[in-house]
Each structure stands twice: as C-alpha cells, then as structure tokens.
Amino acid sequence: MTNTLLRNCHALVPDERGVPTLVRNQDIVVRGNRIAEVRPTGQPPEAELDVIEAHGMLAMPGLINTHSHVPMVLFRGLAEDVSIERWFNEFIWPLESNLTEELVYWGMLLGLIEMIEGGVTTVADHYFFMDRVARAVEEAGTRAHLGWAVFGSRGLGALEETAAFAERWKGGAGGRITTCMAPHAPYTCDDGFLRASVAHAKRLGVGIHIHASEEMGQTQASLDKREMTPIQVLDDTGVLSVPVIIAHGCGLLPEDTERLSRYRDHVGIAHAPKTYLKLAMGITPIRALRKAGIPVGLATDGAVSNNTLDIFESLRLMAMMQKHEASNPEVLPISEALDIATRGSAAVLGMGDRLGKLAPGYLADIILVDTSGAHWQPPHNLAAGLVYSARASDVQTVMVDGRVVMRDRRLLTIDKTRVLTEVATHMEHLAKRVPGSRIQTYKP
Amino acid sequence: MTNTLLRNCHALVPDERGVPTLVRNQDIVVRGNRIAEVRPTGQPPEAELDVIEAHGMLAMPGLINTHSHVPMVLFRGLAEDVSIERWFNEFIWPLESNLTEELVYWGMLLGLIEMIEGGVTTVADHYFFMDRVARAVEEAGTRAHLGWAVFGSRGLGALEETAAFAERWKGGAGGRITTCMAPHAPYTCDDGFLRASVAHAKRLGVGIHIHASEEMGQTQASLDKREMTPIQVLDDTGVLSVPVIIAHGCGLLPEDTERLSRYRDHVGIAHAPKTYLKLAMGITPIRALRKAGIPVGLATDGAVSNNTLDIFESLRLMAMMQKHEASNPEVLPISEALDIATRGSAAVLGMGDRLGKLAPGYLADIILVDTSGAHWQPPHNLAAGLVYSARASDVQTVMVDGRVVMRDRRLLTIDKTRVLTEVATHMEHLAKRVPGSRIQTYKP
C-alpha cells in the first residue's frame, strides 16, 4: 500500500462546526486508504511518502453522486424535449429492452470515465445487470453503492435475484462496494413487493434505494388512488425503517417532510436538479428538508435526462434554483452548498462517518481541482469558484481509497480508447426502438 | 489574407427555414473574412487553401455574448449570496471606485481569454474606460460592440465624452468594433439624459445598449413613481426609435412585450439567466418575446454575478429555465435554443445579416467544438450535445473574421501568462472596499 503526500494545496476542510471551509497552503498525508493528517505546508515530507505536488490545486473530498443509472449514458441524447410520460413510455423503457449484460458493462465503464474525469469518486447506482456494473467499478477502482433495480411486475422471484446480488457484492472490491435493495418506486411496486424488499434488506443488513415523490403529479395520483402520499406508502410498508435513499422528492408535501424527519438518522434525499429542469418536474424543497434535519445529497440521475454525469453542475444548479424558488439570493449560500456536496451526500449514503470530509481517519477519496484557469482568476474567493466557476474539466487528479485513479487527467485504471470503441460499435443497435417492446409502462 | 478550409467537420448550418441544423461531414471554405462555401467533405482542397483538419469536431458560428461588463472579472467572487440592493450598494459600486484605465485593460484581456477559450467571438460590452477595452479587443482579434456606460448623475458633459468614444471607435479594428451609446438604465438616468443619449445615437448613426426592466421590483418602482413601466419610459424618451439592446427584461409586463413588438426590427433582449438565478431576479419571458417576434440573445452579464463568461452555460440555463417556468418540458426545444444562440444573438446586436450563420457571405467567425469527450458519447444527437453536454473547455479552435485566434486551445493573439500575472499583482487592491466610496447608489 502506498502512502502519499498531497503537497501545498488549498484544502476544503471542516471548520469547528464541521462545515467545509477553504484553507490555503496545506499538506494532506494519506496512509493506506485513510487520511492521516491535514497540516500547513512547509514541513519536509516523511521519507516513506510519495509526494504529489499540488500547488495551485484545490483539494476536496471526492464528489459523491447519490443517485444515478450510470449505464444509461448509452442512450444519451435519445429522449429530448418530451413530457415525462413520453420520456418513459416512448423512449426509455422501449430503449432499455435493447440492453444486454455486455452493453451494461461498457456503458458503466463509459459513465465511470466521465465521472472520474469530473471528480466523482462514489456513485449510488440503481440499474440492471448489476454484476457487470459491480465488475466495472471493481476494475475502475472507484467506490459505489449498488442496487439492482426491479419492478413489481417482475415478481418476487426477480426480487430475490436482486437480493442475491446485494448479498454477493456486499463489501465487494475490497470494501469499496456496498449494496442495497432497489425496488423501482411505489408506483411500480405494490405494497407486498415493498414489504418483501424490506424483509430482504433486513435479512442482509442493507438499505433500500428507491424513487418516490418524483414530482407533484405522482403525489397527487397516489393521493387520488389510495389517499396516501408516496412517502406515507414507504412508511406504511416499512421501507422507512431501514436506511433509505429517496430520489427525487420534487413532489414532497410539508407532511411528508415532517414524516421523513422522524427517520432522518437513516433516510436521505438524492437531488438531481438538471433532470428536474429538463423534465419540468418542479424542485425538491431543500430548505424545508434541511430545516427538518433530513440529509440532502447531490445527484445526476441518468444521462438520458441530465445529459451528463457532472456533479459540479448539479451543485451549481442546486444553489441557484433554491435562490430562484425562494426569490431570495441569500438562500443556500456557498458554505451550505459545499456542505451538501460533501457531508450531505455522504450522509445520504449512510457513510457520513467515513466519507465527505478531508479529516484524519476518513477514507482517502480526494480530488485535486486546478484553479489556474482564466475562469477562476483572480482567486479572490476559491469557495465561490468551486460552486460557480468550476468545471468538470478542471479536475486534475483523483484518488479513491488511497489509490490514484487519474493523474494529471490521465486515467490509470480504465482503457478509455477501448471503451469508446466498444460503445461506438453498438451505437446503432442501442438507438432502435422496437414498437411494443418496452420493459415497463409509466402510469403513476 | 489567408484562405482556409475546415475539413470534415460536423456543421451547424441553416436549414431551408434558416433554423440551425446539424449536418455531418462537411468542409467549410473561408476566403478573407467571409465564409465562401459549406459543402460535403471529400472534394480535394483547392491549392490556395490552408487546411485545418476538423474530423470529430463540430463547427458552429462563434458564440455571441449580447450583454456583459467584461472587466468585472477583476471582482469575481467578491459579492456572493447577497440581495440585489446590497450587491450594488455594498459591493459592486464601491469596488468599482478602485478601477483605473490600466486595470480595465488587463481585466478586459482576462475576460477575452476566458471568452475565446469558451468559443465567444463577439461581445457587447457595457463598461468604463472603453478606449482601453477597445484596444484590448483590437489586440485579441475578436469582435465587439462597445458602449461607454454612463449614469445620469455624471451629467451631459460626461455623456458627450461617451459619444466621442462611440465616434472614435465606430468601425474600429478593421471593422471588428462597432459602438453604441450606453446610458446605464432608466432608474439611473432621467428623461433628459435619455433623450440626449438618443440625439447622440442618431447623430452618430449608432444604437443604444441599456439596462431596463431588470426585475419586477424595478418595474413596480417605476409604476409607483411615475405610472410608467421602464419600457414605456424608453418609448417615451425616444430610446426605442434607435437600435437598442435591452438587458435583462425579467420585469417585463405583457404590455411591455406588446410595445416592444412594434420596434422588433431593431430592438432585442439580452438574456443572462445565471445572473437572474444567482440574484433571484425572476426570468425573462422568452416565449412571449419570441411569439411577438422580438429578438432574444444569450448573455453572461458581468462575472461578479455570473461568475464566469460562459455562453454554453447561458444556453443550457435558458432552455432549462423556460421549461421549468412553463412546467412543460416541450418548451424551448433544442433547435430553438440553438437558433437563439446563433441567429437570435446576432439579431439582438443588429448584425443578423452578417453574423450567426455558417453560410456563404457571412463573416467567418467559426468555432470548432471537440465532441470526442466521454460526456458526448455515444454521439446519437450532436445538437443535444451542444445544448446539454458541451463545456466551454470543449472548444478547440476559434476563428474570428477569417483569422484563427485559438488553435487546439493555444491562444495565438494574447499573452496569457502576462495577463494573469498583471491581474494577480493588483488582486489585493481590487478587493478593497473603502467606506463611503462608491460610484453610484442603487435606488430604483
């Protein structure tokens, strides 16, 4: 195991209240897969440390994507400017019938390339053929929280297979992979299916990753059909009794927030604002959630709505949209935005004790962001730069679990050319939509 | 004068209705400062042409920034998370008392670097010490529409000096510079001052670039004070009788749109959505404006609100915010977004007959965007890529007026190191706020 010194960077470290704050000219010492020390630069490096010069770089915790369907990068750009019903029924679910294990593997690697290049070190992925997804993560050297997505219509046998995946890969890739159950949503899984998911989760000691209250229309449909909001359904079926990631919460009512606050030590909301804007889904009530102490984290969702996997963009959109919706530019200031992007996202994944902080004892998932570009100059305010100027392309070096997976923008674990070639080969097949062929129907 | 062939690019060219459309595998022939031909690739290049290989690149008209205060990059990050009143009175207008001619020059060059690197070939700039701004543009080799900003409080003598600038630089830098009058806003210039601005504009044969109806509070204040909206004031004082760029129009009432439609052949709206979100100013009613035939173009505004000068980001935010505000994802589809970014912006500057199209006879302002990055793959839909995946850092090569000013991301006209060094030298001075020292007071 290598030990590393990141020398003379500006570092986003927790202040006395734990809120991330920019401190200039720091050295970060990594031993094994943990951060050992963050100290002012100047001290000669210990002999056993590999030194990475990081002058002019900004070090921050690796970005966390709390909700995605990464292999959907394969369908990027194929469903534009359409309603959410058409998006599902005429595009996504027909397109997904083109998927194979093999394609999911290459799609996952393509998405991992984009995420590593953009500083994302951990992703909570919710998709199909997850053994291949896990294999890709293992090879890429990144961290992931994986759930095999399943619709109620597939039956309890299929659910059991997804539980077997969760068991198989729990603690996989040297601990970099954690798993969960991933029933799709209350509107595609009936109560019995949700209860069975909870039973599996409890048996395996894992949580649940699920879509719920994605937009207000779904909440209304649920109220109309059964006089319960989707969050009430999650509560009623026991889902909220285990650790849960809920995407996306644009349809949360105040009573839902109150209900969620009872479970806030193990339930969080994944927020993917670019998807909400593109599909006109409304916006997650982040201020209310934060006030109620419910963790909120950043996400991209899949690239067919997003169309990228860029957490810097999610960060910026989150802060700007909360200001816009509140008609108040003082809402969600820079320090809070960075808090959500780091500690918030880690908490949503239930990993707040080991991820999301540059602090001794935390896992060494660290990115170096180049602040020398014209769009950062002059560097009066580096924290503002991170939220409002930084681009995915500014990320220079990425470390996960103490190991460098990208150095000076060169990927060290993935053969990029090979991946792009494989994806290109299947491009035509991926774009076909066979009439009547779809994996599911959207009808909340 | 060199003649150039951009070989085998995908090109954003006008379809039969003039709407920009992606056509694959094209050659673009440039002779002098004009586009001579756009044709399918394959034909051997004429002997006198310099060939630039553009395989895998996407060629589009150089981006146009229809409203900025470019040298404000000097204050980037210094006014965050504050109300619009505090933004002006406690930050911007005190900070601007630190400016000198010399600093404006270096600030302009810094902003030009950021814009060229992000594919912006033309900017409508509205600022102070404009002779130095013009000099920087002349050296950078880009195109600009320049107005010397002036407050009514400075008096008619000062207005005359700004008119002298407009006269001095009209048609400057070999025709790359056009000029205008730039009274700040109806809330900082009284009617007499606006009328005098119009008289100067008519005398010089130029237009006016002005802030108006920036947000609904200003419109309400104007109605309260004088029972006229800011747009009525512009009409009443004759401003709308000359070519006008209006920033930002988030406070437009339906009656204003109706009024503006009467002048739509020479009046346009500069739309800078990132500023509106950050300062919670509301959003320009673009659908209503477009329906009324009023040109809308993209802008960044200054980097103290934006915090960058990234037109790709403005493009994306514009499309997404219109969908969000309309609660309809079908609103402002990709083709319309690209139409606004190209023809729309050119029309706002009154240059629709010579800018904003890759077509024979148009000025050769062309950018090559690299589509090989992971975030573009697979390239099912390059037009969607331009709106929703492209980053400023994807711009590889930039041509203005037939001359290459950036090649493979290497700047050919500006000494970047020198500019960054000069700006860094003055950083501390720039950030000082002397109590009581401010160039103007915000009180709409």
Dump pLDDT digits (tens) for A389-413. Answer: 999 999 999 999 999 999 999 999 9
Cβ A393–B391 below 8 Å, yes or no?
A: yes
The answer to whether the CB atoms of A329 and B113 lie below 8 A apart is no
What residues of B are in contact with residue A392 (Cβ under 8 Å)?
A: 375, 391
Whether B386 and B338 have beta carbons less than 8 Å apart is answered as yes
Q: Is B195 left (phi over 0), alpha (psi -120 to 50) or beta?
A: alpha
Exposed/middle/buried for B347, CB within 10 Å: 0-12, 13-18, 19+? Answer: buried
Give how far A88 is from chain B: nearest CA, Å.
13
* Interchain pair A334, B81: CB under 8 A: yes
User: What domains can be seen in chain B, in order of their start residue?
Assistant: 3-61+362-413 (2.30.40.10), 63-348 (3.20.20.140)
Distance from the A49 Cα atom to the nearest Cα atom in chain B, whole angstroms? 33
Inter-chain CB proximity A392 and B375 less than 8 Å = yes
Beta-ladder partners of B64: B122
Tell me the whole-structure pTM to 2 decimals. 0.97
From first to last of the 444 residues of chain B, give the pLDDT tens digit: 689 999 999 999 999 999 999 999 999 999 999 999 999 999 999 999 999 999 989 999 999 999 999 999 999 999 999 998 998 899 998 999 999 999 999 999 999 999 999 999 999 999 999 999 999 999 999 999 999 999 999 999 999 999 999 999 999 999 999 999 999 999 999 999 999 999 999 999 999 999 999 999 999 999 999 999 999 999 999 999 999 999 999 999 999 999 999 999 999 999 999 999 999 999 999 999 999 999 999 999 999 999 999 999 999 999 999 999 999 999 999 999 999 999 999 999 999 999 999 999 999 999 999 999 999 999 999 999 999 999 999 999 999 999 999 999 999 999 999 999 999 999 999 998 877 777 788 888
List CB contacts of A43: < 8 A, sequence separation 6 or more.
Answer: A27
Tell me phi and psi for residue B318, to 5 degrees: -55, -55
| Residue of A75, A76, A287 best to disrupt the B interface, most CBs of B under 10 A | A76
Chain B: give the shortest CA distance to residue A195, in Å. 34
ipTM of the shown complex = 0.97
Q: Which residues contact A154 (CB under 8 A, 6 or more apart)?
A: none
Closest CA to B22 of B9, B35, B32: B9
Candidates A274, A330, A391; nearest CB to B81? A330
> Which helix (DSSP H) or strand (DSSP E) does residue B245 occupy?
strand B244-248
Say whether A378 and B280 touch across the interface (CB within 8 A).
Answer: no
Which of A77, A380, A431 lies nearest to residue B385, judging by beta carbons? Answer: A77
CB atoms within 10 A of CB A176: 24
Residues of B in contact with A430 (CB under 8 A): 378, 380
Dist CA B436 CA A95 (whole Å)? 63
Closest Cβ opposite residue B80 in set A306, A327, A381: A381
Count of Cβ atoms closer than 10 Å to residue B406 Cβ: 24
For residue B106, list chain A residues with Cβ-Cβ distance below 8 A.
Answer: none
Q: How many CA atoms lie within 13 A of A325 on its CB side?
A: 18
Residue B435, Cα to own-chain centre: how many angstroms? 33
CA distances from A242 to A283, A323, A436 (A): 25, 33, 37
Question: Cβ–Cβ of B82/A380 closer than 8 Å?
Answer: no
Q: Do the Cβ atoms of A307 and B389 come within 8 Å?
A: yes
- The alpha carbon of residue B429 is apart from the nearest alpha carbon of chain A, in Å, by 11
Chain A residues near residue B331 by CB distance under 8 angstroms: 280
Judge contact between A295 and A348, C-beta under 8 A. yes
